[in-house]
Amino acid sequence: NTYDFGLVGLGVMGRNFILNVADNGFTAFGNDLDQEKVNALIEEGGDKSKVNADVDAAKFVASLSAPRKIMLLVPAGKVVDIVIESLLPYLDEGDIIIDGGNSFFTDTDRREAYLKEKGINFFGAGVSGGAKGARKGPSIMPGGSREAYQFVKPIFEAVSAKYKGEPCVTYLGPKSAGNYVKMVHNGIEYGLMQLTSEIYDLLKKAGNLSNQELHKTFDTWSKGRLQSFLVEITATIFDQKDDLTDGDLVDMILDKAKQKGTGKWTSQNAMDLGIPVPTIDIAVSMREISALKDERIKADALYDRPTPENVVKDSLVKKAEAALYFAFIITYAQGMHQLADASKEYGYELELGEIAKIWRAGCIIRAALLADITEAFKADAELPNLLVSPSFVSKVKETVDSARELVAYGANNGIPLPGLSNALTYFDAYTSNRLPLNLIQAQRDFFGSHTYERLDRDGIFHTEWES
């Protein structure tokens, strides 16, 4: 028997992905070092002629049809290299390996070049949507050889999420394009999550909303322009009772956010490229500040904080909705801007409209806004920033004042809104035709003869400043 698709790593994601492949009429074979995981898959798969698995790499590879399509869903890092080495002795020229994990993009470039020498096609394919997405339809972001993609395409298109019938997967570009796009997806994810948590804080402290009211508020929002996976799950979270006490679960969860690195990589690489993504940067910093819980407790005792002045609930909720929408737009704008620049820098040839399109369903940052972003890039593929797209200009004009009011309220009342205020300052700076950085140029020239350019004539100037 030869199987259509192979998958290494039968953890929750791997098992769910392979069952999804089988649901869509393809035969699939799994591999994992853990015999129990192999057995569990065989049992769940039912018919062995459709879903089978083995711990032995040689048997695994031998059971696949040519060119072999082998997806890895294993932890990013060294494990990916180890798995590749374990498969290599049995592979033939033209076979395809697809890394479905959150690998760092330069690792993908290295692996792609190494495997190319051996005639093996390597894909970095970000997969988003968590365990449920893997089972029912994730968004898939593949990058690698365009020719080899043709072999993977029918399977990926079948298993991916669908937005109005259109598959949430497309070939994105060469080399590590897929991993890079997934990395920025995660950076945006960090930004949206940080913003959502700030708005929760504000509604709770300024408006005294109970968890049930928060549940209802987010639930209503999730049916309007803020419709998105993250707003939907937020509504559900506020409704969750705690099994261990008789309170609500959200109130019992420790306020220290963990991270696996993809948000930080997005920020780090944006710095390398010289592209500002401050809403993503601050989302990473806030996870870091949250981790300093013991220090925060001590510092809290040293300072007084204003008691938040209560505001009328209805108008607060209205403004919060608008401000969150505004800041979501800014976060997507920053992420797309980074992708546009990275595409030039790394030769990915990314089509931003296509990326927005495959994010409309399946992935963690799916949102009604992504349909609008898709349209904006369809209208102008070279759009330098969403903020200059006509359809976004009106959306921003309508909501920015709410962001201003809430940022001011947060500052006056000691409620930290770093994501929202960064989104606002990014907007104010990006849309300013004159920034005060002429002064920085003057200072640089003053103390270091670093020279400056002028508004009124071309050339490079230096002044002997009077000291």
Active site residues per annotation? 182, 189
| Least distance in angstroms from the C-beta of 8 to ligand 6PG | 18
197 binds ligand 6PG (CB under 6 A): no
285 binds ligand 6PG (CB under 6 A): no
For 174, phi and psi rounded to 5 degrees? -75, 170
Question: Which of 256-264, 318-326, 344-352, 367-375 is the region at the interface with ligand 6PG (rule: CB under 6 A)?
Answer: 256-264
130 binds ligand 6PG (CB under 6 A): yes
| Least distance in angstroms from the C-beta of 47 to ligand 6PG | 29
232 binds ligand 6PG (CB under 6 A): no
| Least distance in angstroms from the C-beta of 258 to ligand 6PG | 6
Question: Which of 70-78, 252-260, 411-419, 457-465 is the region at the interface with ligand 6PG (rule: CB under 6 A)?
Answer: 252-260
Say whether 129 counts as a known binding-site residue: yes
Q: Which is nearer to ligand 6PG, 338 or 389 (CB)?
A: 338
189 binds ligand 6PG (CB under 6 A): yes
The only residue of 45, 124, 129, 143 in contact with ligand 6PG, by rule CB under 6 A:
129
Say whether 186 counts as a known binding-site residue: yes
Whole-angstrom distance, CA of residue 343 vs CA of residue 336: 10
Q: Which is nearer to ligand 6PG, 91 or 369 (CB)?
A: 369
165: which 2 tokens?
A: 């019938």
Say whether 287 counts as a known binding-site residue: yes
Contacts of 160 (CB under 8 A, 6+ apart): 137, 138, 139, 140, 167, 168, 169, 358, 362
Q: In what order do the strands lie in the sheet with 69-72?
A: 51-54, 28-31, 5-8, 69-72, 96-99, 121-128, 139-143
363 binds ligand 6PG (CB under 6 A): yes
For 125, phi and psi rounded to 5 degrees? -130, 105
102 binds ligand 6PG (CB under 6 A): yes
Contacts of 301 (CB under 8 A, 6+ apart): none
260 binds ligand 6PG (CB under 6 A): yes
The only residue of 103, 262, 266, 413 in contact with ligand 6PG, by rule CB under 6 A:
262
Whole-angstrom distance, CA of residue 221 vs CA of residue 111: 43
The only residue of 214, 317, 324, 364 in contact with ligand 6PG, by rule CB under 6 A:
364
160 binds ligand 6PG (CB under 6 A): no
Q: Which is nearer to ligand 6PG, 52 or 102 (CB)?
A: 102
Q: Which is nearer to ligand 6PG, 174 or 261 (CB)?
A: 261
- Contacts with ligand 6PG, 318-357, as mask; x by CB under 6 A: ----------------------------------------
Question: Which of 126-134, 150-158, 317-325, 340-348 is the region at the interface with ligand 6PG (rule: CB under 6 A)?
Answer: 126-134
| Least distance in angstroms from the C-beta of 435 to ligand 6PG | 33
Q: Which is nearer to ligand 6PG, 68 or 135 (CB)?
A: 135
Question: Which of 127-135, 198-206, 425-433, 446-454 is the region at the interface with ligand 6PG (rule: CB under 6 A)?
Answer: 127-135
Question: In terms of Cα–Cα distance, which of 367, 357, 350 is closest to 189?
Answer: 367
| Binding site residue list | 102, 128-130, 185-186, 190, 260, 287, 444, 450
| Binding site residue list for substrate | 102, 128-130, 185-186, 190, 260, 287, 444, 450
- What residue ranges bind ligand 6PG (CB under 6 A)? 102, 128-130, 186, 189, 258-260, 262-263, 363-364
